[in-house]
Structures are given as C-alpha cells and as structure tokens.
C-alpha cells in the first residue's frame, strides 16, 4: 500500500497482517512517526510506530508496549509488536476499536463518562514495571523542595488527559495513547482534566466540580493541588513562549492561568 511508510515497514508487519488492503490515517494527530488503522487479510489493527532511534520518543513507545497488559480493559489490547536493532522501526499493533474522542464542552453528556474513566484508571494497581517511572515533568517548575515532595506518589498515571485520549464507542469507553505512563500522586490526572475543561469553555469552578467526582482528587491534599496548579502554569507559559506558532499551547497557558487565579495562588509566586 502506498500509504505505508516504505517497503521495509510493509515487510516487517507482513507476518502479523498478511497483505494490507486499506490504510486509514486518523484525522487527529498522534505523537508517533506513523499511525493508522490498517485493514488486512489477518484482520483490522490500529498500528502505531516510531523510528528505532535512541531517545525519548523510542522510550515512550517501549513504555506504552510494556504497560499495555496492566491497563486492561481500560485500553485497547496490544496484539503484536515488531522491533529489533536491524528493524528500523518499533511497531505496535493494537486491536482496532470504533470510537470517538469525548466532548469536554460545558453541558456535554460525555462529562460523566470522563469522570468514570479517570476513576477506572485510578483503580489500576501500579505494576512493578512502572515503579521506576517517576513523574518528573513538573519538577523544574516548583519553587521549593517541599512543593516537589507534594508531587510524589505511588499511583499509576496517564498524564495526557485530553478529549482525544478519552474515547467512547458502541463497545465501551477507553483511555488510549498510554505513551508516557508514570508513577506519581493520583490527583494529577484529574488536575490535567481541570485544565482541559477550562480550555474547553468551563469556568474553573465548573471544572473543579467535575474533578470532585474523581476519587483521586477528593482524597488529595489541597496544598498539593495548589503546588501542581502553579507548576503547570509555569510549564505551559514556557512551552507557549518557546512555540508561539502552536496556538493550543497558548490556550492551555490561558486555562492554567485562570485555574491558578481561581485557587488564589499569589501572582508573585507565578
């Protein structure tokens, strides 16, 4: 198929797919070098692939492969994978599901489902394989060692909570794209939902009212949430400044600002 990256890629997946008959590249982007739904003589698969090069992107797809058995049935099952020093690619073949991203806008009937999905995720045990995957992306944006310790924990986190990664279809609902699972405080995933809801048009009060339905949020130390909100604002400000052409980053920074102000975090601390 012309929509596959190259003949070598086609050769690598052939034992798992047989002849490929159709390739559908999804409308929404995925943080990978290639992703598509593939119809083949051996079935239908969602295929996600990264170049087999050292670095964070390779690490993320290897982490996604490793965590998949432990996030069932919340995530589509990984059915096969390809990698190797001479492969040139790391390729994951998931079961293909018919689904759509949730609507995060105010009044959406999908909002209770988003809360339910996060509660299902919070019920997952932290597997041994994830114990060394400490969440540290917000570490550089805290003001003190005390704040840093508030962002430590032993929950399994998804950390990329957005309307594309929380999905629903006739067969159920899922959290997809576990490309960077980590170990940290359970409230972080609901906190990420709060910022996404504000960016989708909610007031901070409304966003937090939905997060309040998440067990990990309800059990969190308010000081820890404050520390995260401040660090998240600093992070999104920096990302927006570094990449001014990505308007969504500016939107996230604006949402994070509104949330920090709602929580009464002093501007001098931001």
Write out pLDDT tens, residues 229-262: 999 999 999 999 999 999 999 999 999 999 999 9
- Overall size of the chain counted in residues: 270
Read off the pLDDT of residues 52-61 as tens digits, 9 standing for 90 and up: 887 768 889 9
Global confidence as pTM: 0.93
Which stretches of the chain are assigned E, i.e. beta strand? 20-24, 34-40, 43-51, 78-82, 89-95, 100-101, 155-157, 166-169, 172-175, 182-184
Instruction: Based on the fold, state whether residues 12 and 50 are members of the same structural domain.
Output: yes
**Axis crossing angle, helix 111-122 with helix 188-199, rounded to the nearest 10:** 160
Same domain as 118, residue 53: no
- Structural domain boundaries enclosing 22: 7-95
The residue assigned the tokens 């598509």 is: 36
pLDDT band (50, 70, 90) for residue 28: low
The reported pLDDT for the residue numbered 1 is: 47
Instruction: Tell me, yes or no, whether 57 lies in a domain.
Output: yes
Which residues are paired to 173 by β-bridges?
Answer: 168
CA 23: distance to chain centroid? 24
Select from 95, 121, 146 the last residue of a domain: 95
Do residues 111 and 136 share a domain? yes
């Amino acid at each position: 198929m012309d929509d596959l990256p190259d003949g070598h890629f086609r050769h690598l997946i052939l034992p798992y797919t047989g002849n490929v008959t159709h390739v559908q590249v999804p409308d929404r982007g995925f943080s990978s070098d290639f992703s598509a739904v593939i119809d083949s003589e051996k079935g239908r698969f969602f295929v996600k692939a990264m170049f087999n090069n050292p670095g964070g992107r390779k690490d993320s797809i290897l982490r996604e492969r490793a965590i998949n058995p432990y996030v069932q049935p919340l995530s589509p099952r990984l059915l096969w994978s390809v990698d190797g020093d001479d492969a040139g690619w790391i390729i994951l073949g998931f079961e293909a599901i018919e689904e759509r991203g949730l609507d995060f806008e105010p009044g959406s009937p999908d909002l209770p489902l988003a809360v339910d999905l996060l509660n299902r995720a919070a019920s997952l045990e932290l597997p041994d394989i994830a114990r060394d995957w400490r969440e540290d992306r917000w570490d550089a944006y805290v003001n003190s060692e005390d704040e840093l310790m508030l962002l430590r924990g032993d929950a399994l986190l998804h950390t990329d909570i957005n309307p594309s990664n929380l999905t629903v279809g006739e067969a159920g609902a899922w959290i997809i794209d576990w490309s960077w699972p980590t170990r940290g405080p359970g409230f972080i995933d609901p906190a990420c939902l709060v910022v996404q809801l504000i960016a989708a048009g909610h007031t901070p009060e409304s966003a937090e009212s939905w997060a309040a339905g998440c067990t990990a949020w309800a059990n969190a130390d308010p000081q820890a949430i404050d520390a995260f909100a401040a660090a998240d604002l600093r992070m999104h400000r920096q990302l927006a400044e570094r990449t001014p052409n990505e308007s969504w980053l500016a939107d996230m920074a604006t949402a994070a600002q509104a949330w920090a102000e709602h929580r009464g975090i002093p501007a001098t601390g931001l």
